[in-house]
Structure 1
Amino acid sequence: MPVVPAAGRAPGSARERFDPSLYLVTDTALCGERGVVDTVRAAVAGGVTAVQVRAKDAADRELLELVRRVRDALAGTDVVLLVDDAVDVALLAGADGVHLGQSDLPAEEVRRLVGPDLLLGLSVSDVAGVRAAPAGALDYLGVGPVWATPTKPLAAPPLGPDGVREVVAAAAERALPCVAIGGVHGHNVGQLRGLGLAGTCTVSEVCAADDPAAAAAGLLARWRA
């Protein structure tokens, strides 16, 4: 069965609604007592344009319940919902997409499983990763880490802005938009402008903030400045 290309999706799909300008990846521990769902609500009010639920330590049923609650919180918005790694949970919860890492299921096989309508992203940390990616199966690439980050202590060495520029240029040759992730904060997001990125990902800047809405608004304003 051939891979279904992302370009073949029907009008009005999640792919058409996908705006990665400010892409929030959730962290349950950093959200603290406020919780993931309320953090997402506040972050979207502040301007977050896409949400990925990442909860590596959650049991399958806990993750499914969390994704469903986040889905309900996003109802009535144009913000798409993706799930980190767990393809089965994304399908059961009615999420808009899945984000895969290099050690997760092969992207081309996931595309055959989920069909043409779900968003599918893949993490890459170098040009070789871009060239090995099955472009016809993917909607975007997550590029990083840009800078070192405690939320991903075992990640590849930081790319820095110059490394991100090289990866994004390689992705452009394959028509794959990129979002930057890893150590992105208000004080350094400006260094990522002009690199050809479609957007930036945030974790701790919003999840750990006292006011997630204000944190999201500030980060988005600096990105778009």
Structure 2
Amino acid sequence: MPPVGRLHLITDTRPGRDPLAVLRAALTVPALAPLGPLMVQVRVEDDWTDRQAYELAQAAVQLCAASGAVCLVNDRVDVALAVGAAGVHLGADDLPVEVARRLLGPGAVIGATARGPDGALAALEAGASYLGVGPAYPTTTKDGLPDSIGPSGVAAVAAATRLPVVAIGGVTADRAPGLLAAGAYGVAVVGAVSAAADPAQALARLVSCLSSAFDGSGAGAR
């Protein structure tokens, strides 16, 4: 199984965004050893066709392979299989983790969404590789999300499981260190990079903020 990196970049496919341009810019930022490989999650809008999802994921897998990043597909196990992605991230309404594990095999990275300790324990038993926990803060990048749980909610999940906890939702470079201090293993970002005038610079700032948290203090070491 590829290592689970501490920084996850999720594609932003809302109207007017260019996810591949953002990804190409982000992949120019060197990965630093404490963070592991950049994790790229391909997420598309609900109204995208299967062909559109496939073509974006295929392009993302190729870009990631050339740069050492790890590419996952959100929600769509079929697309992940079709493009040879390293794995998937699954939400509550997607295929069960244990089914995805059976289809993708023991070497796949499978992320699962959790909002509390019970969900974290269930994901661990089902064979998840890591947890996406949130929304940590209010966010507008995805519709229909529940209320944010804050750093305290992230901390409650992190304390209940040995799985890496990746905090998501409203994450910025300024908020990331606090989430690590709460017990998060890493963070996932969308708008903090995709909405930036200079996506590479925005990702570089996140890398710097996260790396400085791993200075031997033990923050985010779960």
Common fold: TM-score over 0.5: yes
* 1: CA distance, partners of 2:190 / 2:107: 26
CA displacement at 1:152 relative to structure 2? 2.6
**SS class of match (1:122):** strand
Question: Are 2:145 and 1:155 aligned?
Answer: yes
- What residue is the counterpart of 1:188 in the other structure? 175
* 2: CA distance, partners of 1:90 / 1:36: 17
Matches within 5 A, 1:4-43: 15-19=1-5, 21-29=6-14, 32=17, 35-43=18-26
* 2: CA distance, partners of 1:186 / 1:53: 21
For structure 2, the 5+ residue unaligned runs are 32-37, 213-222
Aligned pair count reads: 205
Matches within 5 A, 1:50-69: 50-56=39-45, 57-69=47-59
* 1: CA distance, partners of 2:159 / 2:170: 21
Q: Is 188-197 or 81-90 further displaced after alignment?
A: 188-197
TM-score by length of 1: 0.85
* 1: CA distance, partners of 2:25 / 2:208: 16
Matches within 5 A, 1:95-174: 95-135=85-125, 137-172=127-162
Backbone CA RMSD of aligned residues: 1.6
* 1: CA distance, partners of 2:188 / 2:138: 14
Maintained 8 Å contact 2:115/2:153: no
Structure number with greater CO (CA < 8 Å, separation at least 6) is 1
Q: Determine what percentage of the aligned residue pairs are the same residue.
A: 41
Maintained 8 Å contact 2:22/2:194: yes
- What residue is the counterpart of 1:44 in the other structure? 27
Q: Structure 1 180/31 Cα, relative in aligned 2: closer, same or farther at 3 Å? A: farther
Maintained 8 Å contact 2:110/2:128: yes
For structure 1, the 5+ residue unaligned runs are 1-14
CA displacement at 1:30 relative to structure 2? 6.7
**SS class of match (1:157):** coil
TM-score by length of 2: 0.86
Q: Is 181-190 or 93-102 further displaced after alignment?
A: 181-190
